Amino acid sequence: MTDCNHDCESCSANCGERSAPAKAQLRSGSSVKKVIAVVSGKGGVGKSLVTAMLTCAVRKKGYNTAILDADVTGPSVPQMFGLHDGATADGEALYPALSKGGTQVMSLNLLLEEESQPVVWRGPVIAGAVTQFWTDVVWKDVDFMFVDMPPGTGDVPLTVFQSLPVDGIVVVTSPQELVDMIVGKAVKMAQLMKVPVLGIVENYSYFRCPDCGAIHKIYGESHVDKLAAQAGVDTVCKLPVSQQFARLCDAGRAEDIDVSLLQPLADKICLL
């Protein structure tokens, strides 16, 4: 149905949405207290970077963290954390890889024979794999799990919202005016699914010259504060264009990034 708001409680129509599964259950021996989804309306805005940085910021406050990489066709989290050995299995369950800093990570790239092997699957199959990352993986004593979502509002985001007990979302955007409309779609989807928006992160917000310290708005003036006000979101963080971020992620050293710019949002998440 084109006008479906995915809230079956307020609807009498007998459509396919009513066959949507209930919340998926963690397997025996797993424990995840809070789930935070990191979303974006479009690709290329640094969603995985923000996922990694928030995870590290929360872990530095003493919490056990995990990342479920739901961006099945474009997984980048393992590379950012320097994970190349793959996940493990014992015939009954999967076990996530462990980063140098102690974050548990599960990604399809950790299950492939070759990291460069493409995943050519249709949407429902991809969504099913994401659900299995929740049900078939042994997650040990996780305080905060961050779900790195694919961009948009398609099969996988809908599956995550419907199947996982998401406690809140973080929206990642960039300064271009065109993105405002796209971010609005992501925010409205979260509202339809009755999931609170914890904050908005604007990546590529500015560039600070390393020589003179001058700030340049390479992608134009920011509109994120206005967008956040319209959405009723009270926490906004802005990240610069940073060669250091890129170098550390490419080197598998995401845990060495300075995460102080995201500290207000990390503090809010830790209060959940």
Cβ-based neighbour number of residue 235 at 10 Å: 16
Cβ-proximal residues to 148 (8 Å cutoff; 6+ apart), any chain: 38, 47, 48, 51, 67, 68, 69, 70, 71, 77
- 41 assigned ligand-binding residue: yes
Please provide the distance, in angstroms rounded to a whole number, between the alpha carbons at the two ends of the chain: 34
Residue 45 assigned ligand-binding role = yes
Diameter of the chain by CA atoms?
Answer: 63
The annotation status of 48 as a binding-site residue, yes or no, is yes
State residue 213 phi and psi, 5-degree precision: 85, 0
Amino acid at 177: E
Instruction: Tell me: is residue 137 an annotated ligand-binding position.
Output: no
DSSP state of 109: G
Do 53 and 259 contact (CB within 8 A), yes or no?
A: yes
> Residue 44, annotated ligand binder?
yes
Query: Which residues are annotated binding-site positions?
Result: 41-48
Query: Which residues are annotated binding-site positions for ATP?
Result: 41-48
